[in-house]
């Protein structure tokens, strides 16, 4: 029986499915229907201790496993993920709400992370200099760091854990995952497939729960590093507490992503891309487009196009054919979003498309239709805060200078995109904008396994980003050896 079908989810420790020793649970909902689909244990400090101790013991053997042998397990895992692609995507849609098409795309991103990690033998090679001085040579060797704790958000149940554990285990570490308590189902399926791929017991572990599990990992002496992805206040807290406990921490945080549309842009493309980026995954993406700075001269035309495209969006259960916009994650998140829409009206922004009145939002589940505000300014809460829902703000600007100046006022700096055909404008944008991920004529500069991914400013706390070479560096430490052969 798969773990995804049981009522109270189990933790996965040392290759065994075990009950949490806490009897506290939380309900897991299908956000498209409001139905309870599982209960997730709110695990205790003792559960964390057991998982970390197990991971620590397993580390002693796993770090000695030759790197190509570790990679071979990941190759097998990759094939299993491909074989189960549709099933995994369906679990994502049921627990998160995003459309099946988007869920399949998310599974693809996760698979790419596994593919990248399977390159560990080349990625973790050292470097040598045969003559650093007369008769002396030096070289650098790379080693794992120990037990890594991973703490993940609700919005990418497959992709975000896959930013972490494939690379961490490929480089010889062992891993304890604390998935989001709002989308905990997929993690258990990932663990089952890891087991099928032949991963030794105790290398990958899951402890379900909430704050106590996070604090347990942050405080545990045998946890060497923490990879966190989630909202800004929690990222800041995790970074401070983790480093206070002398751990290596990367904390990817909240966002408010800006797109700039210049008058020479292909407006059809810009409107299509921004519609997808703002309303896809119900705006619950750290790379979602949430503000557009558009040049005044084309603003009216561009906004008409956006409204036209938003009106074509099909709202509903993500499992349904052609559905583009699914629900937001919880009733409380829907209420918070509706509050923001009211705030925007009170602040004097011009509500040009009201997602509260779409007929398809009246069904069971937590639906909000595509919502667009015009004439938004930087002093408004709807401009400043991460709403994390299908709400798009438009600010009218004189030119590129004004757009960059406006964008750089944000405390967040995850992603930014420009729409133009002008190479000089692209260069100016690249050189002056504050953001970690830039896009040119695309709506979502999505994270790719092969490149480092993260933001600047309050969108990231730490040093080494997720993925790519940064990921390798984060999950390894180095020894330099200098030798005289006598």
Binding residues for NAD(+): 154, 178, 181-182, 386
Task: Please choose, out of 26-34, 225-233, 355-363, 474-482, the segment that lies near ligand NAD by the rule CB under 6 A.
Answer: 225-233
- How far apart are the C-alpha atoms of 13 and 227, rounded to whole Å? 19
For the bound state, the minimum distance from the C-beta of residue 244 to ligand NAD, rounded and expressed in Å, comes to: 14
Q: Which is nearer to ligand NAD, 160 or 403 (CB)?
A: 160
Q: Which is nearer to ligand NAD, 154 or 302 (CB)?
A: 154
Residue 398, Cβ neighbours under 10 Å: how many?
10
User: In terms of CB distance, is 155 or 205 closer to ligand NAD?
Assistant: 155
The binder of ligand NAD chosen from 52, 120, 226, 255 (CB under 6 A) = 255
Query: Of residues 30, 54, 124, 155, which one binds ligand NAD by CB under 6 A?
Result: 155
CA distance 180 to 228: 11
Q: What angle do CA 76, 78, 82 make, to 5 degrees?
A: 120
Binding map of ligand NAD across residues 38-77, x = CB under 6 A, - = no contact: ----------------------------------------
Q: By CB under 6 A, name the one of 114, 229, 394, 442 that touches ligand NAD.
A: 229
**Nearest-angstrom CA–CA distance, 162 and 217:** 19
CA distance 437 to 413: 8
Kindly tell me which residue out of 138, 231, 377, 473 binds ligand NAD, with binding defined by CB under 6 A.
Answer: 231
Task: Work out how close the CB of 251 gets to ligand NAD at its nearest, in angstroms, rounded to a whole number.
Answer: 9
Question: Which one of residues 31, 153, 326, 439 is an interface residue with ligand NAD (CB under 6 A)?
Answer: 153
286 is catalytic: yes
Residue 254 interacts with ligand NAD (CB under 6 A): yes or no = yes
Identify the residue among 191, 203, 252, 395 touching ligand NAD (CB under 6 A).
Answer: 252
Task: Compute the distance between CA of residue 58 and CA of residue 202 in angstroms, rounded to an integer.
Answer: 5
User: Which residue number, 54 or 180, has a Cβ lying nearer to ligand NAD?
Assistant: 180
Annotated binding site: 154, 178, 181-182, 386
Site size toward ligand NAD (CB under 6 A) is 27
Binding mask 449-478 toward ligand NAD (x if CB under 6 A, else -) reads ------x---x-------------------
* Catalytic-labelled residue, pool 286, 291, 293, 464: 286
Should residue 180 be labelled a site residue for ligand NAD when binding is judged by CB under 6 A? Answer: yes
Q: Are 259 and 271 in contact (CB under 8 A)?
A: no
Report the residue number whose CB is nearest to ligand NAD. Answer: 230
Contact 326, 313 (CB under 8 A): no
For the record, the structure tokens of 42 come out as 């709110």
* Under rule CB under 6 A, residue 361 binds ligand NAD: no
CA distances from 10 to 3, 21, 58, 154 (A): 8, 10, 20, 18
CA dihedral 19, 168, 288, 382 (to 10 degrees): 70
Nearest residue (CB) to ligand NAD, 253 versus 337: 253
Query: Is 210 a binder of ligand NAD (CB under 6 A)?
Result: yes
Touching ligand NAD, residues 274-333 (CB under 6 A)? 286
Establish if 388 lies at the interface with ligand NAD (CB under 6 A). Answer: yes
Cα–Cα distance for residue pair 295/281, rounded to 1 Å: 27
Catalogue the active-site residues: 286
Binding site for ligand NAD (CB under 6 A): 151-156, 160, 178, 180-181, 210-211, 214, 229-231, 234, 252-255, 286, 386, 388, 414, 455, 459
């Amino acid at each position: 029986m798969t773990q995804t079908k049981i009522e109270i989810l189990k933790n996965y420790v040392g290759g065994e499915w075990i009950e949490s020793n806490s009897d506290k649970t939380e309900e897991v909902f299908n956000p498209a229907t409001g139905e309870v689909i599982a209960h997730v244990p709110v695990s205790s400090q003792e559960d964390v201790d057991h998982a970390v101790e197990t991971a620590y013991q397993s580390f002693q053997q796993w770090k000695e496993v030759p790197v190509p042998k570790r990679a071979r397990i990941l190759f097998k895992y990759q094939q299993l993920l491909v074989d189960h692609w549709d099933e995994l995507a369906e679990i994502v849609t049921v627990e998160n709400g995003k459309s099946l098409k988007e869920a399949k795309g998310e599974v693809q991103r996760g698979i790419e992370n596994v593919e990248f990690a399977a390159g560990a033998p080349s990625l973790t090679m050292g470097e040598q200099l045969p003559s650093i001085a007369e008769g002396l040579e030096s070289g650098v060797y790379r080693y794992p760091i120990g037990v890594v704790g991973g703490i993940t958000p609700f919005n990418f149940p497959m992709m975000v854990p896959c930013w972490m554990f494939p690379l961490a285990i490929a480089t010889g570490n062992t891993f304890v995952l604390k998935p989001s308590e709002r989308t905990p189902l997929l993690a258990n399926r990932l663990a089952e497939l890891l087991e099928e791929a032949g991963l030794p017991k105790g290398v990958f572990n899951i402890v379900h729960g909430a704050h106590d599990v996070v604090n347990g990992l942050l405080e545990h002496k045998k946890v060497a590093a923490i990879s966190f992805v989630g909202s800004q206040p929690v990222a800041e807290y995790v970074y401070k507490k983790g480093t206070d406990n002398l751990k290596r921490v990367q904390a990817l945080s909240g966002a408010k992503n800006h797109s700039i549309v210049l008058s020479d842009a292909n407006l059809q493309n810009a409107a299509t891309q921004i519609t997808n980026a703002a309303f896809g995954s119900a705006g619950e993406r750290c790379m979602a487009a949430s503000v557009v700075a558009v040049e005044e001269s084309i603003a009216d035309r561009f906004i008409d196009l956006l409204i036209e495209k938003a009106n074509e969006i099909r709202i509903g259960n993500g499992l349904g054919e052609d559905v583009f916009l699914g629900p937001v994650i919880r009733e409380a998140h829907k209420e918070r979003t509706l509050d923001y829409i009211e705030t925007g009206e009170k602040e004097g922004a011009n509500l040009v498309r009201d997602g509260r009145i779409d007929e398809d939002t009246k069904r069971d589940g937590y639906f909000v239709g595509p919502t667009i505000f015009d004439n938004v300014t930087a002093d408004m809460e709807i401009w400043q805060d991460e709403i994390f829902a299908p709400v798009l703000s438009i600010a009218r600007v004189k030119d590129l200078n004004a757009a960059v100046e406006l964008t750089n006022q944000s405390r967040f700096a995850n992603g930014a995109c420009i729409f133009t055909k002008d190479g000089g404008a692209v260069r100016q944008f690249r050189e002056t904008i504050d953001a970690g991920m830039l896009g040119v004529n695309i709506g979502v500069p999505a994270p790719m396994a092969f490149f480092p991914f993260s933001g600047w400013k309050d969108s990231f706390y730490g040093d080494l980003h997720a993925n790519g070479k940064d990921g390798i560096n984060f999950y390894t430490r180095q020894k330099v050896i200098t030798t005289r052969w006598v």
